[in-house]
C-alpha cells in the first residue's frame, strides 16, 4: 500500500518551479503543478528526514495565480514548470525567488526587483533541445516527462515555446530522418538541438551516438536546415557533418557569425532589453577601460569599443573568441578562462561579469578584491550562485541596484543584472 494522500496549502514556489507546502508532520514538501494559494491533495513520492517530494493528486481550491495551462501536453511534459500560472503571477514569483536568494544565501536585504517581462510569452525560444530514443524499431522524440525523466514524451512542433522557424523545422526533420531516424547519427539515445537565426535558417546539433548517418540527405530534405553538427559519445567538440560552416545571425543590430555551439541567449527580444540595460549602466559610469569577462561573441565589447572605450574581453570558447575578434576589432579579446587571465586585464574602471550558471570561480572573486574596479555589472542566470558571489564580494562592494529580466517565460528561470560599486571609491 502506498502512503495515504494528505491535504496541504501551497504557500510559495521553489527555484525549480515546484510549489511549496507543509505536510502534517511539519516537513516542507515540493509539489509540481501547484500554485500559491492552492489547497491540494498530494501523495508523498520521496521522503527525507526534513523534506519530501509529493505528486499532485487533485486541486481542491485554486489560488489566485492559477490558470489552465495553454499547452495540451503540459500535464506530462517536463519542458515547462510554471505554465499553469498567469504570466503576471510568473513574474511575481521570479521577483520573490531573486530577493529570497539574495537574502537567504547572500545575506543581503533588498526589495523584490521589478522583473521586466518578455515581449513574447510564447514562441520566444530560438534554441530548443529534444531527446530522441530509438526503441522497438521506431523512434520516440520530444521532451522528457516531468515525473518520469527516464521516459520521452513524443512531440512535434506543437510545443508553444520554440520560435516558429524551430517548430516548423522540427516537424520537417521528423518527417525527413527516415525509418528509425537512420539519416541521423547512430545510437540508442541522441540529444538534438535546433537553433534558428533571424532569417529563419536553422542549425542542428547532435549530441551522442556514433556514426554520422546521412546528414546530406537531411540538409536536402529540410529547406530551413543550414548545417548539421555532431559531437559523438565521449567527444569534446562538434564536427561539421553537412552544410555551412558559418551561419549569419543578426542580433541587436549586430551581424554575428554563428558556428556549432557558440552561445547566444534563447530569447532574442528579451535579451535585447537586458543588453541595452547593461550598456546603459556601463556608459553611465563614463569608463575609460572595461573588462568584458565571459564575453562570448563580444556583443558588449563591440559596442563599447565603437564608443572609444578601451575594452579587454575574456572568453574560453575558441569559436566565440574568433567571432568576438572579428566583430570587435577595436577590443583586445583574450582566449582562456577568466580566473587564469583576469589579472592581465586589470585594472579597469568597470567590469562586466556574465558567467555560466556555476557563477564566479573563487580566484575571480579574489582578483576583483585585489584590484577592485569602481563598478561591477554582474549578469546572472542563477539567483543562488549570484547571491553566493555577492556574499563573497560584500567586503569590497556595496549593492547599487538589482534588475531582473524574464528571458524564460513558463519556466522558473530568470536573468538578473546587479550593479555594485567599490566601497573604497
Are 200 and 271 in a shared domain? no
Active site residue 381: yes
Cis peptide leading into residue 238 (ω within 30°): no
Same domain membership, residue 115 and residue 221: no
The verdict on 249 and 144 lying in the same domain is yes
Neighbouring CB atoms inside 10 A of 361's CB total: 16
Task: Please give the Cα distance from 359 to 337 (Å, whole number).
Answer: 13
Cell 541587436, located at residue: 252
In the prediction, which pLDDT does 423 show?
A: 85
Number of domains, the chain: 3
Same structural domain, 383 and 270:
yes
Residue 77 belongs to some domain of the structure: no
Q: By residue range, what is the domain housing residue 155?
A: 127-258
Q: Is residue 79 part of a domain?
A: no
| C-alpha closest to that of 367 among 293, 316, 313 | 293
Distance (Å, rounded) from C-alpha 12 to C-alpha 120?
25
Does 81 fall in a domain?
no
Boundary-marking domain end, from 258, 274, 307: 258
The reply to whether 381 falls in a domain is yes
Query: Are 115 and 56 in a shared domain?
Result: no
Distance CA 314, CA 346 (A): 12
pLDDT tens for the chain, 425 residues: list them.
457 899 999 999 999 999 999 999 999 999 999 999 999 999 999 999 999 999 999 999 999 999 999 999 999 999 999 999 999 999 999 999 999 999 999 999 888 999 999 999 999 999 999 999 999 889 999 999 998 999 999 999 999 999 999 999 999 999 999 999 999 999 999 999 999 999 999 999 999 999 999 999 999 999 999 999 999 999 999 999 999 999 999 998 999 999 988 999 999 999 999 999 999 999 999 999 999 999 999 999 999 999 999 999 999 999 999 999 999 999 999 999 999 999 999 999 999 999 999 999 999 999 999 999 999 999 999 999 999 999 999 999 999 999 999 999 999 999 999 999 998 86
Q: Are residues 374 and 348 in the same domain?
A: yes
Residues 226 and 275 in one domain: no
Q: Exactly one of 71, 77, 80, 381 is catalytic; which is it?
A: 381
Indicate whether 294 and 417 sit together in one domain: yes
CATH code at 193? 2.40.50.1070
pTM: 0.94
Pick from 258, 293, 321: which residue ends a domain? 258
Residues 277 and 415 in one domain: yes
Indicate the residue among 258, 293, 323 that finishes a domain.
258
Q: Of 383, 317, 372, which is closest to residue 342 (Cα–Cα)?
A: 372
Do 24 and 109 lie in one domain? The reply is: no
In this structure, are 103 and 133 located in the same domain? no
What pLDDT score was predicted for residue 137?
85
Do 110 and 137 fall within a single domain?
no
Amino acid at each position: 500500500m502506498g502512503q495515504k494522500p494528505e491535504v496541504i496549502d501551497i504557500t510559495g514556489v521553489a527555484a525549480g518551479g515546484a510549489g511549496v507546502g507543509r505536510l502534517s508532520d511539519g516537513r516542507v514538501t515540493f509539489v509540481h503543478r501547484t500554485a500559491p494559494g492552492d489547497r491540494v491533495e498530494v501523495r508523498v513520492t520521496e521522503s527525507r528526514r526534513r523534506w519530501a517530494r509529493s505528486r499532485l493528486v487533485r486541486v481542491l481550491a485554486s489560488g489566485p495565480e492559477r490558470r489552465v495551462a495553454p499547452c495540451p501536453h503540459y500535464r506530462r511534459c517536463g519542458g515547462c514548470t510554471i505554465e499553469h500560472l498567469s504570466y503576471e503571477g510568473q513574474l511575481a514569483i521570479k521577483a520573490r525567488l531573486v530577493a529570497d536568494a539574495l537574502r537567504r544565501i547572500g545575506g543581503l536585504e533588498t526589495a523584490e526587483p521589478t522583473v521586466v517581462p518578455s515581449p513574447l510569452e510564447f514562441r520566444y525560444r530560438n534554441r530548443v533541445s529534444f531527446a530522441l530514443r530509438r526503441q522497438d524499431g521506431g523512434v520516440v522524440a520530444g521532451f522528457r516527462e516531468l515525473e518520469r525523466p527516464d521516459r520521452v514524451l513524443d512531440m512535434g512542433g506543437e510545443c508553444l515555446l520554440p520560435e516558429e522557424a524551430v517548430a516548423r523545422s522540427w516537424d520537417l526533420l521528423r518527417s525527413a530522418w527516415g525509418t528509425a531516424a537512420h539519416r541521423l547519427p547512430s545510437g540508442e539515445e541522441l540529444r538534438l538541438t535546433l537553433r534558428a537565426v533571424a532569417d529563419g535558417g536553422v542549425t542542428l546539433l547532435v549530441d551522442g551516438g556514433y556514426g554520422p548517418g546521412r546528414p546530406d540527405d537531411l540538409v536536402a530534405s529540410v529547406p530551413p536546415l543550414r548545417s548539421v553538427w555532431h559531437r559523438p559519445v565521449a567527444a569534446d567538440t562538434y564536427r561539421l557533418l553537412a552544410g555551412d560552416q558559418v551561419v549569419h545571425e543578426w542580433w541587436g543590430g549586430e551581424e554575428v557569425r554563428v558556428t556549432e555551439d557558440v552561445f547566444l541567449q534563447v530569447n532574442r527580444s528579451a535579451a535585447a532589453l537586458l543588453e541595452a540595460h547593461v550598456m546603459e549602466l556601463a556608459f553611465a559610469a563614463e569608463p575609460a577601460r572595461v573588462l568584458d569577462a565571459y564575453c562570448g561573441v563580444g556583443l558588449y565589447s563591440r559596442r563599447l569599443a565603437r564608443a572609444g572605450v578601451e575594452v579587454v574581453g575574456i572568453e574560453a570558447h575558441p569559436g566565440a573568441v574568433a567571432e568576438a575578434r572579428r566583430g570587435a576589432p577595436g577590443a583586445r579579446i583574450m582566449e582562456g578562462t577568466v580566473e587564469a587571465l583576469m589579472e592581465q586585464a586589470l585594472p579597469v574602471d568597470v567590469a562586466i561579469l556574465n558567467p555560466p550558471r556555476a557563477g564566479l570561480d573563487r580566484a575571480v572573486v579574489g582578483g576583483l578584491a585585489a584590484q577592485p574596479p569602481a563598478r561591477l555589472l554582474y549578469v546572472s542566470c542563477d539567483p543562488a550562485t549570484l547571491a553566493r558571489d555577492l556574499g563573497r564580494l560584500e567586503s569590497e562592494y556595496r549593492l547599487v541596484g538589482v534588475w531582473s529580466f524574464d528571458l524564460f517565460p513558463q519556466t522558473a528561470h530568470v536573468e538578473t543584472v546587479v550593479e555594485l560599486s567599490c566601497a573604497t571609491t
